[in-house]
């Protein structure tokens, strides 16, 4: 029983963690506080659904194209809009991304097919359940955890071994010195937004087998803020760990605390973290 | 003086364009939003901090007022209760961010707002829960404020008092402390300004004004439900301040005019569109988002100017 709660908590937490990762990636590189990660997540999931259901593409191809397309969209949004908010107070980017998010959510809502029926993304191999001993495990949960681990490993390898990854890290650490070393900081901002949007889209696609795909699914991104704060706002591994921590805490609160408590768990934890651990629960070296 | 004349011209124009009752009702809302905007102007423009959950302060004021009046308390005293409740919540919401400043305030106010919203739904016995709560009209010493003209007069009076109080505050020691903290926190601290205290008081004042606006709003609308006070309201208020300008108090009034006029303009625009387009769900979201993005892109430094 407790194992099952933990597992579903970890799976939900992986989603939170991925969104938090996308948020922190953008925040570290461009100092923009993004309120549109939830909408990017939702659009990514819808893109995958549309490509499979309407265009009849094979699922894996649709997923790959949706993630790549969202990366492109993220780069475009940075080029066209967010670049203008650089160097302004936080609120400028907050309002800008919130407005863009509203446009995305409204835009998807105007498509009748998107709102009139609930959609699910049939990821093969991730439907149904499997029995391990006395434990009944949902394959979707296992799939989410595995996909998160894989994509984080790929992201870590990108940051560790590729030239662009190194440049992005340098740019997040100190943009001025990075620019002196020949790194194109504006290019890195675009890259950060592309990666951020792709990660958010991936989170949305991974959510699809667990919940339905609908225009309001972006609210899950509100949990990215507590996850990022608990992770210390500046640490990518911290954001992921923060997300998993919140997912597990919510699952436990849902089981052992009065009804409704699990809805505020994340925010209470965020307040506690700000009060007691202002540098994040896992304060360590920044990546 | 010029702004006063423009304001009077605007009032006359609104009443002429929208008809007496409807126009005055809308003006009552403008004055109410302006009171809430004043609170944000103090937090954002004067002390340079950030509040992403200002809707929660309005919610607390509105529900306190509704509860107080339902228990038979006099409405005027209810406004004082709401004011105190808002100040307390503002101070509490600012505590977690106090040591970090900047974005941490944004995060802590956001968390408080989301918790308040959930609490309003959860404690349905007191708040009517998700299905809402109706609020009786305001009565001041036996005089029921139901007429739009009277509502408008009461809101305008409250706004005028709030403006005067804010002006006094800004010219006081505290106002100077806020501006010092905004411009350079380190220098302010070195000059003997208690920066943490100044920030706490900025949030207390901002929360109090938000709650005052919420209490009026409860009476004018006559019906409360938690989703009115969600994230959307907080961002509408931020947009209000961004449009009006946070550097001066009158910015809140101009911003409030825009925020109240915007849905009307969108509705008007909708009438001119062909039926197939006008009936699409989500059009309001797109229009509101579009205006927000356009305003920010047009003047990215809206706040500082």
Distance of CA B7 to the CA centre of its chain: 19
Dihedral pair phi/psi, residue A130, rounded to 5°: -135, 145
* Residues of chain A with C-beta less than 8 angstroms from the C-beta of B107: 225, 229, 270, 274
Q: What's the whole-number mean pLDDT along residues B181-204?
A: 90
Determine the Cα–Cα distance for residues B156 and A52; give it in Å rounded to an integer: 57
Name chain B contacts of A271, Cβ cutoff 8 Å: 96, 108, 111-112
Where would I find the H helices in chain B? 2-18, 20-40, 55-70, 75-94, 103-122, 124-127, 148-170, 173-183, 185-190, 195-221, 231-244, 250-272, 275-278, 283-298
Q: Which residues of A172-195 are buried (b: 16+ CB within 10 A; e: fewer)?
A: beebeebeeeebebeebbbbbbbb
Cα–Cα distances in Å, from A218 out to A44, B84, B299? Answer: 11, 35, 28
Q: What whole-number distance in Å separates Cα of residue B240 and Cα of residue B33?
A: 9
Please list the residues that pair with B231 across neighbouring strands.
Answer: none
Q: What is the pLDDT of residues B146-170, one digit of tens each?
A: 788 888 888 999 999 999 999 999 9
- What residue has token string 């339902």? B70
| CA end-to-end span of chain B | 20
Q: Given pLDDT bands bounded at 50, 70 and 90, which one contains residue A285?
A: very low
Alpha carbon separation from B255 to B30, B32, B251 (Å, rounded): 9, 12, 6
Decide if B216 contacts B159 (C-beta within 8 A).
no
Q: Which pLDDT belongs to residue B1?
A: 60
Q: Would you call B96 and A274 a contact, using CB atoms and an 8 Å cutoff?
A: yes
Nearest to A107 among B97, B282, B284 (CB): B282
Extract the tokens encoding B179.
């501006």
Query: Closest by alpha carbon to B97, among A96, A243, A276?
Result: A276
Cβ B285–A275 below 8 Å, yes or no?
no
Instruction: Decide if A81 and B288 are in contact by the 8 Å CB cutoff.
Output: no
Rounded Cα–Cα distance for residues B283 and B273 (Å): 11
pLDDT at B61: 94
Model pLDDT for residues B121-152, shown as the tens digit of each residue: 888 777 777 777 888 887 777 777 778 888 88
Cβ neighbours of B52 in A, within 8 Å: 94
Q: Which tens digit of pLDDT belongs to each residue from B227-248? A: 888 888 999 999 999 888 888 8
The pLDDT, as a whole number, for residue B211 is 95
Closest CA to B17 of B261, B252, B255: B261
pLDDT band at B302 (very low <50, low <70, confident <90, very high): low
Nearest to B248 by CA among B32, B31, B44: B44
Cross-chain residue pair B300–A84, CB shorter than 8 Å: yes
pLDDT in tens, B71-130: 888 888 889 999 999 999 999 999 888 777 778 899 999 999 999 998 988 887 777 777
A47 Cβ contact list (under 8 Å, min separation 6): A62, A65, A66, A69, A70, A201
Q: Which of A203, A204, A73 is CA-nearest to residue A151?
A: A203
A101 to chain B: nearest residue by CA? B289
**What is the pLDDT, as a whole number, of residue B173?**
93
Report whether B97 contacts A271 (CB < 8 A).
Answer: no
Q: Does the beta-carbon distance from B99 to A278 stay under 8 Å?
A: yes
Q: What is the mean pLDDT of residues A265-283?
A: 83
Supply B122's token pair. 């959860």
Cα A170 to Cα A185: distance, rounded to the nearest angstrom: 9
**What is the value of pTM for the model shown?**
0.89
Q: Which of A96, A226, A271 is the closest to B296 by Cβ?
A: A96
At residue B12, does pLDDT exceed 70?
yes
d(CA A102, CA A115): 16
Place of tokens 């492109």: A72
CA distance B4 to chain A (A): 29
* 3-class SS of residue A75: helix
Our measurement of the distance from residue A211's CA atom to the centroid of its chain's CA atoms, rounded to an integer in Å, reads 15
Residues in chain A closer than 8 A to B44 (CB atoms): 91
Q: Is A116 on the interface with B (CB under 8 A)?
A: no
Confidence check: pLDDT of B304 > 60: no
Q: How far is A84 from chain B (nearest CA, A)?
A: 7
Chain B residues with CB under 8 Å of A89 CB are 50, 303-304
Q: How far apart are CA A103 and CA B283, in angstroms?
A: 9
């Amino acid at each position: 029983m407790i194992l099952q709660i933990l597992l579903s908590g970890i799976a939900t937490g992986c989603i939170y963690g991925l969104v938090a990762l996308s948020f922190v990636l953008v925040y570290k590189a461009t100092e923009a506080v993004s309120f549109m990660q939830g909408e990017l997540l939702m659009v990514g999931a819808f893109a995958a659904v549309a490509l499979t259901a309407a265009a009849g593409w094979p699922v894996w191809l649709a997923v790959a194209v949706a993630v790549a397309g969202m990366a492109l969209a993220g780069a475009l949004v940075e080029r066209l809009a967010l670049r203008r908010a650089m160097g302004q107070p936080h609120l400028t980017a907050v309002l800008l991304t919130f407005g863009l998010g509203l446009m995305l959510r409204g835009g998807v809502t105007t498509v009748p097919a998107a709102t009139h029926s609930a959609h699910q993304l049939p990821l093969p191999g991730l439907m149904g359940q499997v029995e391990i001993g006395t434990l009944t495990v949902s394959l979707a949960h296992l799939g989410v955890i595995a996909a998160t681990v894989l994509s984080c490993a790929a992201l870590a390898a990108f940051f560790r071994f590729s030239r662009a990854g190194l440049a992005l890290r340098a740019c997040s650490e100190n943009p001025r010195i990075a620019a002196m070393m020949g790194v194109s900081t504006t290019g890195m901002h675009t890259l950060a937004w592309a990666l951020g949007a792709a990660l958010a889209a991936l989170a949305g696609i991974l959510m699809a087998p667990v919940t339905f795909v609908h225009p309001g699914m972006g609210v899950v991104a509100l949990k990215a803020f507590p996850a990022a704060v608990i992770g210390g706002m500046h640490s990518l591994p911290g954001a992921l760990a923060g997300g998993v921590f919140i997912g597990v805490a919510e699952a436990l609160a849902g089981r052992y605390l009065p009804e409704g408590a699990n809805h505020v768990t994340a925010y209470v934890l965020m307040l506690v973290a700000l009060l007691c651990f202002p540098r994040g629960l896992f304060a360590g070296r920044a990546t | 003086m010029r702004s006063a004349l423009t304001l009077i011209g605007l009032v006359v124009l609104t009443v002429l364009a929208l008809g007496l009752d409807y126009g005055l009702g809308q003006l009552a809302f403008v004055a109410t939003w302006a009171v809430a905007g004043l609170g944000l102007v103090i937090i954002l423009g004067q002390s340079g901090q950030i509040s992403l959950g200002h809707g929660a302060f309005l919610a607390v004021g509105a529900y306190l007022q509704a509860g107080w009046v339902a228990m038979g308390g006099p409405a005027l005293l209810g406004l004082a209760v709401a004011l105190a409740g808002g100040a307390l919540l503002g101070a509490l919401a600012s505590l977690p961010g106090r040591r970090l400043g900047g974005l941490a305030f944004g995060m802590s106010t956001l968390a408080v707002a989301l918790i308040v919203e959930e609490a309003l739904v959860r404690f349905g016995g007191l708040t009517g829960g998700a299905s809402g709560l109706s609020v009786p009209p305001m009565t001041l010493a036996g005089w029921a404020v139901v007429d739009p003209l009277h509502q408008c007069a009461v809101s305008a009076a409250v706004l005028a008092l709030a403006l005067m109080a804010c002006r006094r505050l800004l010219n006081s020691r505290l106002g100077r402390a806020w501006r010092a903290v905004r411009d350079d926190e380190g220098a302010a601290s070195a000059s003997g300004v208690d920066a943490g205290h100044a920030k706490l008081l900025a949030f207390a004042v901002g929360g109090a004004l938000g709650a005052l606006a919420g209490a009026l709003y409860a009476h004018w609308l006559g019906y409360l439900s938690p989703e009115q006070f969600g994230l959307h309201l907080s961002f509408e208020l931020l947009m209000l301040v961004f449009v009006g300008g946070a550097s001066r108090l009158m910015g809140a009034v101009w911003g409030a005019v825009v925020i109240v006029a915007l849905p009307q303009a969108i509705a008007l625009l909708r009438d001119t569109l062909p039926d197939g387009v006008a009936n699409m769900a989500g059009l309001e979201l797109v229009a509101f988002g579009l205006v927000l993005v356009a305003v920010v892109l047009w003047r990215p430094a809206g706040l500082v100017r």
